[in-house]
Amino acid sequence: MLICKARLAPSPTGYLHLGNARSFLLAWLQARALGGEIILRIEDLDRPRAVEGAEKDIVGDLEWLGLDWDNELTPNYYQSNRLHLYCEALDDFKARDLLYPCFCARKELAEAMSAPHNSAGRYPGTCRNLSTEKRAEREVKKNPALRFRVEPGSIIEYNDLIHGSLRSDVYEETGDFIVARADGIPSYQLAVVLDDIAMGVTHVLRGDDLLDSTPRQILLYHAFSTKPPIYAHVPLILGPDRKRLAKRHGSVSIVEIRGTGRSPEEVVGWLAWSCGLRSDIGKTTAAELIEDFVIDNISRHGTHLSSLDIFSP
């Protein structure tokens, strides 16, 4: 019986940076320490934002860091080649009356969500109960997005390996959420759940910036009558402005660090130290971290980079 099947799921909307690399390293270590499998999947649904050449560089960077995977990167492991599967799921949801069309513009949503009586970020249900006639009138003028109906009392309770026991009232905190955009492209929430189900993923380790997405994803697992994976949301690496490390922070991509002449052992050693797996900064390989890997040793606090010149030449 397979104890663990995890995944590395980069998006080619940018280059692999230290924060992504650390999350992928930890996901890889978790799977390998449990004697499990790991797959590589390219989450390329957002084609307009894709950076030319990023996918090739990301795969090369992961290999340079010493990470491997157990699948060949065939077309089936690209989300852009799985659109028909997402559409089939949407058709199933429609047949079960789990979806409805939403015609709200971004400005309307922003105004509604800023109302004093409304929870921050909660969709107020503006289009939920539109009559058939009203929907037909609006469809003439605008293609709708599709929202998943969240019923009152939709309480999600689960255990996160980093954050412990968590509880979320999705109806009160989020409300009905989008599962397909107005241009027909499925949402991240839907695609990632369907892919993880189809690929047999049992463990999901990722950055805690996705913690808020988890209750919605678990609701989708329930809609598919499937058990959710085991989750672990790890703290992020923060830039000098204490915001999530991103392109705006400058030369923090692995491809740029490689260009300085640094070795993969130096980078992996720093990543291991930064999240609490090592007590000091020293050279190591990803494989050397497997034997002593314990998820409880991962720091519960984000890593703040006061300077971005840690890997300068």
Res. 109: pLDDT tops 80: no
What would the pLDDT profile of 137-179 be if each residue is shown by its tens digit?
999 889 999 999 999 999 999 999 999 999 999 999 999 999 9
Res. 238: pLDDT tops 80: yes
**Chosen CATH of 5-81+235-304 out of 3.40.50.620, 3.40.30.10, 3.40.50.150, 3.20.20.70:** 3.40.50.620
For the segment 281-307, the average pLDDT, to the nearest whole number, is: 90
Tell me what pLDDT residue 118 has: 43
| 77-91, 134-148, 193-207, 293-307: segment of lowest average pLDDT | 293-307
Tell me what pLDDT residue 22 has: 95
For the segment 16-28, the average pLDDT, to the nearest whole number, is: 95
For the segment 91-97, the average pLDDT, to the nearest whole number, is: 98
Tell me what pLDDT residue 304 has: 76
For the segment 178-206, the average pLDDT, to the nearest whole number, is: 96
Average pLDDT of the chain, as a whole number: 90
Tell me what pLDDT residue 248 has: 58
Res. 313: pLDDT tops 60: no
The CATH class of the 84-158+169-187 domain is alpha beta
Provide, rounded to the nearest whole percent, the portion of the chain with pLDDT above 90: 75
Tell me what pLDDT residue 6 has: 98
Nearest partner of 24 among 185, 164, 153, 205, judged by Cα: 205
- Give yes or no on whether 5-81+235-304 and 84-158+169-187 have one common fold: no
Provide, rounded to the nearest whole percent, the portion of the chain with pLDDT above 70: 90
Domain ranges of the chain: 5-81+235-304, 84-158+169-187
At 214, the pLDDT band (50, 70, 90 cuts) reads: very high
Which one is predicted more confidently, 85 or 122?
A: 85
CA dist., res. 27 & res. 155, Å (int): 27
Could you list the active site residues?
A: 247
- Using CA atoms, how far residue 132 sits from 95, 101, 139, 283, in Å, is 16, 11, 11, 64
For the segment 76-102, the average pLDDT, to the nearest whole number, is: 97
Tell me what pLDDT residue 112 has: 46
CA dist., res. 200 & res. 261, Å (int): 38
CA dist., res. 145 & res. 308, Å (int): 40
**Predicted model pTM:** 0.92
Res. 292: pLDDT tops 90: yes
Tell me what pLDDT residue 251 has: 54
Six-digit token pair at 11? Answer: 């998006």
Res. 198: pLDDT tops 90: yes
For the segment 130-139, the average pLDDT, to the nearest whole number, is: 93
CA dist., res. 71 & res. 65, Å (int): 18
Tell me what pLDDT residue 309 has: 58
Using CB atoms within 10 Å of the CB of residue 2, give its burial: 0 to 12 exposed, 13 to 18 middle, 19+ buried. exposed
At 1, the pLDDT band (50, 70, 90 cuts) reads: low
